[in-house]
Amino acid sequence: MPQLRKDPILKQWVIISPERGKRPSDFKKVETAATDDAEHCPFCQGHESMTPPETLSFRTAGTAADTPGWWVRIIPDKVPILIPEGDSNREGIGMFDAMNSIGVHEMVIEAPDHNTTFSNATPTQVKEIIWAYKQRLLELKKNPRYKHLMIVKNSGAGLSALSHAHSHIIATPIIPKRIEEELEGCREYFHYHDRCLICDIIKQESKSKSRLVYEDDNFIIFCPFASRFPFEMEIAPKNHFPFFEMLENSMVPLFANTLQIALKKLETLLPGQPYNFIIHSSPCSDSYKDFYHWHVEIIPKLTKTAGFEWGSGFYINPTPPEDAAEALRNVEIK
Amino acid sequence: MPQLRKDPILKQWVIISPERGKRPSDFKKVETAATDDAEHCPFCQGHESMTPPETLSFRTAGTAADTPGWWVRIIPDKVPILIPEGDSNREGIGMFDAMNSIGVHEMVIEAPDHNTTFSNATPTQVKEIIWAYKQRLLELKKNPRYKHLMIVKNSGAGLSALSHAHSHIIATPIIPKRIEEELEGCREYFHYHDRCLICDIIKQESKSKSRLVYEDDNFIIFCPFASRFPFEMEIAPKNHFPFFEMLENSMVPLFANTLQIALKKLETLLPGQPYNFIIHSSPCSDSYKDFYHWHVEIIPKLTKTAGFEWGSGFYINPTPPEDAAEALRNVEIK
């Protein structure tokens, strides 16, 4: 079973996953993406038996679970980093803290076809993916042991072993450190100003335009003032709202449209570049709702982070976000 | 001039470096290491005119600066991310904070020969590199505007554009966020226990042996309990001491020996794998000296960090540190 261990200096949790057990011989070469094709792909329609049983799918009426007929399908990870069953078993190991890695780790298969991507999918398909995220998170949220829910997508060569479009759903029994840091920053600003920090950022970016990529009445896309990476983007709803999974139904197609605009612009400007996106929603408790504002981070993986970044926690970005925003703003998409 | 910008949510500083200005066309392919050879290498002996003038060198008596005759040579970076001159110009840009990127960014050329590495260098050469680090940091520390000094090495394909062995010296006008986090963890433990956290970790690792890689009377190498990466190692002096740069002279060859043992073990176990090391010394002020203990982090770059790590701040490590330590401990080195 994977174990969560706490770094006593940085108070950061690490998942030690011996099930993914890697011995020195497994690292003889720097890892490269596995070659995979539709014939051997466990995520393709018709190959449902190659995966664990689905936890949710949107499928044609009358088709059975784990058979063809679906358009979005959610399954547990084959080698999960977090396990839904069992006791958390918090324990001290000498001066150190550890617990069982309780939680949920699932994969959202974003389309039955091997070559569909967020950029080339139909608007309807993107909307269905967002529906699936929302519906699955709402279900997971009913379990009080999960403190935080997250959607993560790793797209492109080197970031994922499988090229068939998919994303991850992660539910954790602790609030991850990075989220704690966001909460802390937002809470402090709220106490001082009685306003949501992210609301204020959105207003400023919408007004100043220099880092604006796109906006409509409901959503905004901009390159953050202190972007850590070239062409980093943030998407947020314009009105204050803490929980992605509680997004109003009428907003689902609007958000799907905005997300697809961002990813199409990126794909047109930097064809084939790998990227991550992460949907940050408030932790499950209601106590953060006044000052946390759900948002999406899109991080193209164009630069390598090296010792300086790891060692210092600050980043070097060779592309000013104003230049990145201008280039992204001017991209025409189909 | 590069600019330091503060992320208002995470309170993290980012260096925006338009001098390294990257437009979309510069990213057409994922960056790969530049091909370089001794003939075109600016760091090779005889090519001194290809670099900015040296700030320190250890060289044969009678040879002039920026000519052959050196065995370790320190130069400013050609495209520095931090600039030593000028005013810091702290300013508010709307609701955001920025300042000029004041500081020092220098390169330590670790040997005159193109193919020397930390693993194949003579013990004398490694000792001289450590002397050079120490001497240059002590000089930089005289300037009160620098709050923190750091040594970083990126070794291997993909981590550095130049293969000729070199490391970075970085002096910053602020304490980097990652270091602030370490200080906070160490301070809290000290207030509670009246003991240094890292001293206690060293004692436990030395006693329990399960994560021990090497120890002698003065230094210890171990794999941290919550290692974020496979085969991650930490080196620390056994006796409490905050400042690397104030290491006693008699300890320099002993530390050089320990560092070389760690890197030789890594190179023997995982030949040719890229790695980083970072020497963490206390910030320049004396106020941290009771609870901060200098140490070295060695991070082999075997796994790719993806969206999950970026988004959550917690890491997935497929190699338990006990297994990593056992493998490293058992490596015979020449």
Candidates B277, B271, B265; CA nearest to B328 is B265
Smallest CA–CA separation between A40 and chain B, in Å?
24
Residue A11 token pair:
């108070």
Residue % of chain A over a pLDDT of 70: 92
Q: Indicate whether A92 pLDDT > 50.
A: yes
The pLDDT value recorded for residue B31 is 45
Q: Residue A102: list chain B partners with CB under 8 A.
A: none
The whole-number average pLDDT for the span A194-205 is 96
Query: In 3D, which of B188, B129, B164, B169 has the Cα closest to residue B279?
Result: B169
CA atoms of B265 and B69, how far apart (whole Å): 31
Across the interface, whether the CB atoms of B8 and A225 are under 8 A apart is answered yes
Q: Is B39 exposed, middle or buried (0-12, 13-18, 19+ CB in 10 A)?
A: exposed
> Which pLDDT value is given to residue A156?
79
Residue A47, pLDDT score:
96
Which is nearest to B150 in space by CA: A312, A10, A310, A317? A312
- Residue in chain A lying closest to B228 (CA): A14
What's the mean pLDDT in A268-297? 93
The answer on pLDDT for B171 being more than 80 is yes
pLDDT of B29 over the 60 cut:
no
| Most confident stretch, A320-329, B25-34, B96-105 | A320-329
pLDDT at B33: 45
Q: Which chain A residue lies closest to B181 (C-alpha atoms)?
A: A10
| Average pLDDT over every residue of B283-292 | 94
Angle A252-269/A321-330 helices, nearest 10 degrees? 100
User: CB-side exposure of B124: number of CA atoms within 13 Å?
Assistant: 2
pLDDT of residue B28: 56
Q: Is the pLDDT of residue B286 over 50?
A: yes
Q: Is B168 annotated in the active site?
A: no
Q: What is the pLDDT of residues A215-269, one digit of tens each?
A: 999 999 999 999 988 999 999 999 999 999 999 999 999 999 999 999 999 999 9
For chain B, say whether A225 makes contact (Cβ under 8 Å).
yes
The pLDDT value given to residue A33: 45
Provide the mean pLDDT of chain A: 90
Which residues, at least 6 apart from A133, have a Cβ–Cβ distance to it below 8 Å?
A: A108, A151, A167, A169, A244, A245, A279
CB contact under 8 A, A30 and B273: yes
* pLDDT number for residue A157: 66
Calculate mean pLDDT across residues A270-279.
90
Strands B315-317 and A13-16: parallel
pLDDT value, residue B159: 63
Q: Which residue has the tokens 């600066």?
A: B65
Contact B244, B295 (CB under 8 A): no
CB-count exposure of residue A208 (10 Å: 0-12, 13-18, 19+): middle
Residue B221 vs residues A10, B249, B261, B278, B284: alpha-carbon distances, Å: 19, 21, 9, 14, 25
Residues A105, A166, A280, A293: which is the catalytic one? Answer: A166
Whether pLDDT at A28 is above 70: no
Q: What is the pLDDT of residue A269?
A: 93
Residues of A in contact with B28 (CB under 8 A): 270
Inform me whether the pLDDT recorded for B158 exceeds 70: no
Owner of token pair 């408790």: A285
Q: Which residue of B has its CA nearest to A323?
A: B23
pLDDT at position B20 over 80: no
Query: Which run of H or E residues covers position B151?
Result: strand B148-155
Give A307's pLDDT tier (boundaries 50, 70, 90): low
Chain A residues with CB under 8 Å of B278 CB are 307, 310-311
pLDDT of B35 above 60:
no
The pLDDT value recorded for residue B17 is 84
Q: Tell me the pLDDT band of A32, cut-offs 50, 70 and 90.
A: very low
Chain B touched by A22 (CB under 8 Å): yes
Average pLDDT over residues B304-311: 61
pLDDT at A187: 96
Lowest mean pLDDT of A45-59, A170-184, B10-24, name the range.
B10-24
Query: At residue B30, does pLDDT exceed 60?
Result: no
- pLDDT of B82 reads 86
Residue A162 has what pLDDT? 81
Average model confidence (pLDDT) across chain B: 90
* Cβ pair A194, A187 in contact under 8 A: no
Show the tokens assigned to A155.
Answer: 């797209």
The H or E element containing residue B127 is helix B123-140
CA atoms within 13 Å, Cβ hemisphere of A206: 17
A36-40, A88-92, B75-79, B259-263: least confident range: A36-40
Residue of B196, B316, B330 to mutate, testing the A interface (most A Cβ within 10 Å of its Cβ):
B316
At B56 the three-state DSSP class reads strand
C-alpha A289: how far from its chain's center? 20
Closest to A22 measured CA to CA, from A106, A100, A93, A79: A79
Contact B95 A204 (CB under 8 A): yes
Check whether A305 has a pLDDT greater than 90: no
Beta carbons of A94 and B204 less than 8 Å apart: yes
Quick check: B307 and A227 CB within 8 A? no
What is the pLDDT at residue A326? 96
CB pairs under 8 A between A and B: 289
Q: What is the mean pLDDT of residues A19-24?
A: 72
pLDDT band at A30 (very low <50, low <70, confident <90, very high): very low
Residue B44 has pLDDT above 70, yes or no: yes
Q: How many residues does chain A have?
A: 334
Region of residue A46 (phi > 0: left; psi between -120 and 50: alpha; otherwise: beta) = left
Minimal CA separation from A61 to chain B, in Å: 34
- pLDDT higher at B254 or B313: B254
Nearest CA in chain A to B17: A318
| Among B97, B183, B288, B310, the residue to mutate for chain A (most A Cβ within 10 A) | B310
pLDDT, tens digit (0-9, with 9 covering 90-100), for A112-160: 999 999 999 999 999 999 999 999 999 999 999 999 999 999 887 666 6
Q: Round the CA-based radius of gyration of chain B to a whole number and report it.
A: 20
Percentage with pLDDT > 70 across chain B: 92
